[in-house]
Amino acid sequence: MSAVIAIQPPPAAVAPLLLRACRMEPVERTPVWLMRQAGRYLPEYRAIRDKVGFLELCKTPRLAAEVMLQTVARLGVDAAIIFSDLLPLLEPMGLDLEFALGEGPVIHNPVRTPADVGRVRELDDVDRVGFVMDTVRATRAGLDASIPVIGFAGAPFTLAGYCIEGGTSKAWLLTKTFMYHHEAAWHDLMARLARAVSRYLVAQIEAGAEVVQLFDSWVGCLGPDDYRRYVLPHSRLALAAAAARVPTIHFATGNPALLPLLREAGGTVIGIDWRIDLDAGWAAVGHDRAVQGNLEPAVLLADRDTVRRRTLEVLARAGNRPGHIFNLGHGILPQTPVDNVLELVATVQGR
């Protein structure tokens, strides 16, 4: 009688480190990626930008993917966020966007009255921003399976701020004035933006993004009561459809008092900026939710010993809890030395 040989099934593929951390599963080390990890501090990026304008780069998937793939290879980080910007989403919605040299983004037809909201079109067709999905595909195709691709969008409040101010602002007074004086029109605008963001994030997921992040870069100018009344339901809508498919990261800057409300609005992972210690921020979020953060970006302008020490301090504050993703408390500053970024990544990865 011939012996029966048991056939062992192949071992299940191990999910990427970042995805396991998002799900608060045990990980062999803390994953690390950095907001604005492809940017002006890198000579490879500057070489490409010498040839093309910023908006042209964002709209050229081959170059946008090349920028990020070069960056991941140079830094050795654990995820690739697509190279794009928050604002091109507004163009098919009827906003006239320009990235003016030395001025940053300018919207030439801002929303200043309730009647103006009517010309902010619904984003029914994401093909109008199909170059972003092509960037997701090209980035995914160029990476090892262990490196997930992160898609992203601006949050409704941050997009509304640009729509109303016509660009960036220090105090966002035009935005707040519109919000307080024209509440119905404000909610109409925010709902249009939230629906657009929802469709946009889902399209990125369908193109290959395994995680998506919602950036609320300017919502820290609000207090908790105003956030709850004017923002929270719209951020929740923006995230809900994506959250049914992949892990989501909800990140806002400027006001740690908003952290419990960000959790309420949604997010598998809550991003924490540098204005609060990581342990205190995680306690505010709740230890049953994953967090991301939160080294002060300006620390990367210091010497390498300081970078290593401060990086280890953030890791210590995480307390070896499952669910920590190392990142900066906002994006890398353009003046940052590349060697300091490499020191940060090596420190997190235990090299």
Nearest to 107 by CA among 89, 83, 80: 89
Q: Is the pLDDT of residue 4 over 90?
A: no
Task: Provide the pLDDT for residue 93.
Answer: 98
Which entry of 20, 41, 45, 162 is annotated as an active-site residue?
162
For residue 264, count CB atoms less than 10 angstroms from its CB and return exposed for 0-12, middle for 13-18, buried for 19 or more.
middle
Q: How confident is the model at residue 28 (pLDDT cuts 50, 70, 90)?
A: very high
Asked whether 219 and 254 are in contact (CB, 8 A), the reply is: yes
Q: How far, in Å, CA of 156 to CA of 187, rounded? A: 10
Q: Which two tokens stand for residue 253?
A: 């800057």
- Which H/E stretch holds residue 264? helix 259-265
User: Would you call 162 a catalytic residue per the annotation?
Assistant: yes
User: Would you call 36 a catalytic residue per the annotation?
Assistant: yes
Conformation bin of residue 192: beta by default, left when phi > 0, alpha when psi is -120 to 50: alpha
Task: Please state, for a pLDDT cut of 70, what percent of the chain lies above it.
Answer: 95
Integer CA distances (angstroms), 255 to 1, 5, 51, 281, in order = 74, 62, 38, 11
Average pLDDT over residues 60-80: 97
pLDDT tens for residues 284-334? 999 999 999 999 999 999 999 999 999 999 999 999 999 999 999 999 999
Task: Provide the pLDDT for residue 227.
Answer: 98
User: Would you call 20 a catalytic residue per the annotation?
Assistant: no
Higher-pLDDT residue of 10 and 158 is 158
pTM of this structure: 0.95
Nearest to 316 by CA among 264, 277, 345, 271: 277
Which entry of 23, 85, 128, 226 is annotated as an active-site residue?
85
Average pLDDT over residues 87-93: 97
The residue type found at 159 is L
Average pLDDT over residues 95-113: 90
Mean pLDDT of the chain: 95
Neighbours of 351 (CB within 10 A): 9
Task: Provide the pLDDT for residue 7.
Answer: 54
Asked whether 51 and 70 are in contact (CB, 8 A), the reply is: no
Task: Provide the pLDDT for residue 334.
Answer: 96
Q: How confident is the model at residue 100 (pLDDT cuts 50, 70, 90)?
A: confident
Nearest to 20 by CA among 278, 268, 267: 268
Nearest to 272 by CA among 231, 188, 347, 216: 216
Instruction: Write phi, then psi, for 18 (nearest 5 degrees).
Output: -60, -45
pLDDT tens for residues 155-202? 999 999 999 999 999 999 999 999 999 999 999 999 999 999 999 999
The residue type found at 268 is T
User: Would you call 289 a catalytic residue per the annotation?
Assistant: no
Which domains are present in the chain?
17-348 (3.20.20.210)
Q: How far, in Å, CA of 311 to CA of 300, rounded? A: 10
Higher-pLDDT residue of 203 and 13 is 203
Q: Edge-to-edge, what's the strand order for the sheet holding 324-328? A: 80-81, 149-154, 211-216, 248-252, 269-271, 290-295, 324-328
Task: Provide the pLDDT for residue 101.
Answer: 72
Task: Provide the pLDDT for residue 6.
Answer: 52
Neighbours of 60 (CB within 10 A): 17
Hey, what long-range contacts does 69-72 have (CB within 8 A, 24 or more apart)? 69/139, 69/142, 69/143, 70/38, 70/42, 70/44, 70/45, 71/37, 71/38, 71/42, 71/44, 71/45, 72/37, 72/143, 72/147
**Strands, E assignment, the chain:** 80-81, 97-100, 104-107, 149-154, 211-216, 248-252, 269-271, 290-295, 324-328
- Which single residue is written with the structure tokens 């709902």? 191
Average pLDDT over residues 70-99: 97
Asked whether 205 and 242 are in contact (CB, 8 A), the reply is: yes
Question: Can the peptide bond before residue 340 be classed as cis, meaning omega within 30 degrees of 0?
Answer: no
